[in-house]
Structure 1
C-alpha cells in the first residue's frame, strides 16, 4: 500500500498550479469504483480541494481559496453519506498534507503540526515548526516526519503519531531542490531536483524511518530529465522519469522509464523503458500493478499497467480521447484516469486485472478545471475546482 501524503507526482503539481492564483467552485465527489454511480457530492468551504485521505470511516480534505496561502481548513466527512463531521481552521492551504490513521488526523498549521482526534477534531497535541519556508509531511505508521526546507537546507523531525513527541531529528544540506517525498515500510524517501531546476539526474535519498540515519542515495534519470514521479509499495520505491534531446522536446517525443528500487538497500530491481511522453511523471501503485499514462507510440492517448515484481507490461490500451492534463489513481481492483480539459473533466475507470473498460463520467465543469483523485475502500474521490481568471486570461 502506498503511503503517499504529499502530492508526490510532479504532474499533479503542474495541474494544480493552474489554480494557485485563486480557486472557485470546489466540489468533492464520491463515486462507486466498480459501477461509476455517484454516491454523494459536497461543496467544501474553500474554492480548491486537496486529494482526499481516508481512515476510520471518514474522508479528510484540506480546502482554501488560494493554494499558496498558509491558511486553509481541514474538513472531515462521513465516508458513507458525505455529511460533514467537523472542520478545523488554521491549517495550511490545499497543497498541504494530512496523515490519518490510528484515530488521529495530523495536519500542518501555519506555525505548528497538529494532532487532531479524528472523531471530533479536538486537539490531542501540537508541535511548533522551526520556521522553514516550505514544509512537507511524510506519513509513516507510528511516526510522521516533518520536513522544513529553507533554500537547500532541510530539517527532518520524526514525531510520535499518538503523542507528538520528537523521536529523532536530522539536518541536511540538499543536493538540489526538495521534491516528492513519502515513506515505505522502513524508509523515508525523497527526491531532489538538480540545482537551478536544470535538466539531469535527480538524487533519490532514503533515511531509516526509525532512526533518521541515511541508508542510501542513488541518481535517477539523466540528461534530458526534467520531471520525476515517485510512489511506493511495501518496501519498494518506484520512480518514473523521461528522457529527450532538444529536438525531441519540441515534438514532445522521447522515452519514458519506470524503475523499481529496494527501499532498504537502494538496489535497482528492474527497469522498464519505451518510447513515450518524456514530460509525463504520474504513476499509481495498487493491486500488484503500476499504472502510468503516456507510454508507447501513442503516448498522448495510452494507459499502461506494469507488473510490480518484474516491470513487464500487463496490458496497454489506447484511443482514450485524452486532451489536457491526465492523472492516474488506482485501488480496489480499478485503475482510474482523470482528464482535466479546458472547461470540463472526465473520469474513466478500467479493471486493474486486464484493462477492460468499466465506466466513464464527467465531473462538474468549470473554467480551468483541476482535479485531485484518490481511490480508497472501493470509492473514487474526486476533488474538482476551477481557477479564478487572472488579468489577461
Structure 2
C-alpha cells in the first residue's frame, strides 16, 4: 500500500509550510552564488523567531541559547487569558509572542506579547468584534501555525470559524507595538510564513500555491504555477525547495520535488519522488531531509518511522522503524530535531481525561536519538511522562515537553493530576540532566508542548485539555538548587541503559575467536531496579546481574542488549554488537 496520498501530502504541506533548508546543496554545483561551500553552516541566532527555531526547521539553536545551571527553576508564568493552538512560543528580540483565540464559533483572535525577562505583558492585539451596525470586521482569527518574526514585523496566518465571519488571512503586525502594518484576507492563507533573503513565502488555498511576497507591503512578487498544487519545504543556496502535484486531482500522481528560483519563481530543477518518500516536510541538515511518519486515518496500523531522503534525487536514503515487532504504533509521533549529525524524535500516546489516571504511572513515551548518516538508534529515553509537541536542541542538550505526575504525589490514584513538565536530556546518551514540573492550578490535565530555547532560558506553553482553562506560557532559568519534590515529575529518575565492555570498546573492534567479553551495565544512569540481558536478536530478555560474560566461540557478529527498569516502571535499552574474525 502506498504510504501517502495526494490529500495527506497536501495537508502536511499546509501544516509544515515554512520548513526550510539550512546548509543543503540545492544548486547544481553544490555552491552558492559567492562560490563558497554550501555545506558551511551559517551563524545561528540565539532567538526562537520562527517555527522550529530557524530557517532549517531543525529545532536546534546554539549552546549559548540554553540555561547553563545544573537544575532549572521557574522564572515566571503568564497567562494569555484565552485559548492557544500554537505549540511552541516564538521568542525574538526579548519578547515572547503567543497568538490566541477568544471565540470558538467565529474564531475571533489576537496576539499577546510578553517581556521575555519578566513575563510582563508588553502589548495585546485583539480583533474587533461583530456589531449589528458594521457587520463582521476583518482581523486575526484562529492561528494554528507558529508566527515568524523578521525585519521588525510579526507575520502569521489565521482562519475564520463560521462561514459568515470575516476573520482570517495573512497578517503583519509591528513586533514592538502590535499595530497592524498590513493584512491580506482575500485567500486561504495557511501554515507558518517563511522569511528568507528579504522575501516572505506563504502558501494559499484553495489551489495550494506558493506566494512570494514583499514583507514590507504584502504585495505578491510571484506565485507558483496554478496548474499544480504546490507547497514549499525549505530555502537554501538561493533556491526555494518544495513539492507539487498536478492540480487535476489525480490521486495516483507522484509528486515532484522542485527547486524554484526565488527571484521569479522559475523552476531550476524538478525530480519525480519515489513512492516511499514523505515529501510533506521535515528538518534538514547537510544534503538530506529528515521526516517522521506514522499512523493515518487510512492506515491506522502503520508503524512509527524516521526517514532520511534526498531532495535532489527524490529517493530514500534510510528508513528506521521505531515500533517494535508485534506492537501497535503510538498515535503521536513528533517532528524531528536535527543537530550535529543526530536526529531526535519522540513517540507516545494520545491520552484522554478518562484514561489519564489509569496510565499515569506507566511508561508512556519514548525519546530516540538516531545517527543521521545511517539511521541507527543511538539511545532511547523511556519515562511515564506523556511527551507532546516536538523535541528541541541547544548545544549538547535535548529538551522535551509534556505532562507528568508529581514525583511525590500524595493523593489517591483516582485523584492523580498531571502537570506541565520539561525534561532536559544529554544529547550524547539520553541521560536526564534535569526535569521541572510546573504546579499549574487546575483540576484537569495541563501540559507543556514544544520547548523554545532562547537567550539562556527555556520557554514552553501551558495548554489545557479543553476549554475550561485559558492557556499561558512559562519560562525556566538556570539554578544551582534542586527543585522541591512538588516540582519534580515521577519520571525524573528514569533509568538510562549504558554498556561498558572489557576489553574496552569491544563493540568497535574485531576480536579473535574464543575471546570472552565482559559487558557491564552498572554504569547505567538513573534509578535501576532490574537488569535484563538478551544475547542474539532472536533471544529473549532474562533478568540477571549488572554484568555478564559472553564468549565469542563463533565467526561473525552477535548483538547483546541490556534492558534496565526503574522502580516506577520506566525502561531503557542499549545494545552492543560483538564481532570476530571470519575464517
TM-score, normalization by structure 2: 0.50
- How big is the shift at 1:103? 1.8
Ranked by relative contact order (alpha carbons within 8 Å, sequence separation 6 or more), the top structure is 1
**2:204 corresponds to 1:148:** yes
1:380 match: 458
> Does the CA contact (< 8 Å) of 2:388 and 2:449 recur in 1?
no
Match runs of 1:4-153 below 5 Å: 8=16, 32=67, 35-48=71-84, 50=86, 51-65=88-102, 70-90=107-127, 91-108=140-157, 110-124=167-181, 126-132=182-188, 135-141=190-196, 142-150=198-206, 153=207
CA pair 76-59 structure 1, distance change in 2 beyond 3 A: same
Q: Distance in 2 between matches of 1:121 and 1:256?
A: 41
* Alpha-carbon distance, 1:129 to partner: 3.2
Alignment correspondent of 2:499: none
Q: Does 1:187 align with 2:187?
A: no
Shift of 1:269: 7.0
Given that 2:401 and 2:451 are in contact with CA atoms closer than 8 Å, whether structure 1 keeps it comes out as no
CA contact (8 A) 2:145 2:191 kept: yes
Contact 1:97 1:107 in 2 (8 A): yes
Whether 1:319 aligns to 2:382 is yes
| Alpha-carbon contact 2:339-2:393 (below 8 Å) kept | yes
Where in structure 2 are the equivalents of 1:212-227 lying within 5 Å? 212-214=265-267, 215-216=269-270, 219=273, 222=276
Aligned to 1:20: none
8 Å CA contact 2:402, 2:449 repeated in 1: no
Q: Distance in 2 between matches of 1:66 and 1:233?
A: 40
Change (3 A) 1:65 1:116: closer
- From 213, 224, 227, the equivalent of 1:170 is 224
**Cα distance change of structure 1 residues 163 and 52 upon mapping to structure 2, 3 Å threshold:** same
Please say if residues 364 and 382 of structure 2, whose CA atoms lie closer than 8 Å, have aligned partners that are also in contact. Answer: no
SS of residue in 1 equivalent to 2:343: strand
1:298-342 Cα offsets, whole Å, 9 max, x none, are x9643112244x14446312431244x633321222212223478
Partner of 2:164: none
Task: For residue 49 of structure 1, report the CA deviation from its aligned partner.
Answer: 5.0
SS in 1 for 2:449: strand
Change (3 A) 1:307 1:187: farther
Give me the whole-angstrom Cα distance separating, in 1, the residues matched to 2:290 and 2:244: 12
Matching residue within 376, 379, 394 for 1:332 = 394
Aligned to 1:230: 282
Contact 2:84–2:463 at 8 Å: present in 1 too?
A: yes
Quote the Cα distance in structure 2 between the aligned partners of 1:213 and 1:44. Answer: 43
Which of 264, 285, 293 does residue 241 from structure 1 map onto?
293
Match of 1:16 in 2: none
Distance (Å, rounded) in 1 between the aligned partners of 2:276 and 2:309: 16
Aligned match of 2:25: none
Q: Give the Cα separation in 2 of the matches to 1:322 and 1:123.
A: 40
- Structure 1 residues 79 and 7 mapped into 2: Cα distance closer, same or farther (>3 Å)? farther
Between 139-148 and 265-274, report the one with greater CA deviation.
Answer: 265-274
Unpaired runs of 5+ residues, structure 1, are: 10-30
Is the CA contact 1:272–1:312 (under 8 Å) kept in the aligned structure 2? yes
Cα deviation for residue 357 of structure 1 reads 0.7
Query: Structure 1, residues 356-390: CA drift from partner, whole Å, max 9, x if none?
Result: 2111222435635454323232432211222037x
The yes-or-no answer on 1:273 pairing with 2:337 is no
The 3-state SS of whatever aligns with 1:140 is strand
Question: Contact conserved, 1:5 with 1:138, CA < 8 A, in 2?
Answer: no
Larger strand share, 1 or 2? 1
**Cα distance change on mapping 1:114 and 1:131 into 2, 3 Å:** closer
Q: CA RMSD for the aligned pairs?
A: 4.2
Residues 336/217 of structure 1: CA separation in 2 closer, same or farther (3 Å cut): farther
1:162 CA drift (Å): 3.4
Cross-structure match for 1:305? 369
Q: Distance in 1 between matches of 2:81 and 2:322?
A: 43
Q: Residues 209 and 76 of structure 1: is their aligned pair in 2 closer, same or farther, counting only changes over 3 Å? A: farther
Task: Measure, in 2, the Cα distance between the counterparts of 1:107 and 1:243.
Answer: 29
Taking a change above 3 Å as real, the CA distance of residues 379 and 202 of structure 1, as seen in their structure-2 partners, is: farther
Q: Name the larger-Rg structure.
A: 2
- Shift of the 111–93 alpha-carbon distance from structure 1 to 2, 3 Å rule, reads closer
1:6 to 1:54, Cα distance in 2 relative to 1, 3 A:
farther
Aligned partner of residue 120 in structure 1, secondary structure: coil
Unpaired runs of 5+ in structure 2? 1-11, 18-65, 128-139, 159-166, 324-328, 349-362, 405-416, 469-583
Aligned counterparts of 1:184 and 1:61: Cα–Cα separation in 2: 25
Alpha-carbon shift at residue 58 of structure 1 (Å) = 1.6
Cα deviation, residue 222, structure 1: 4.7
SS in 1 for 2:226: strand
How many residues get paired? 342
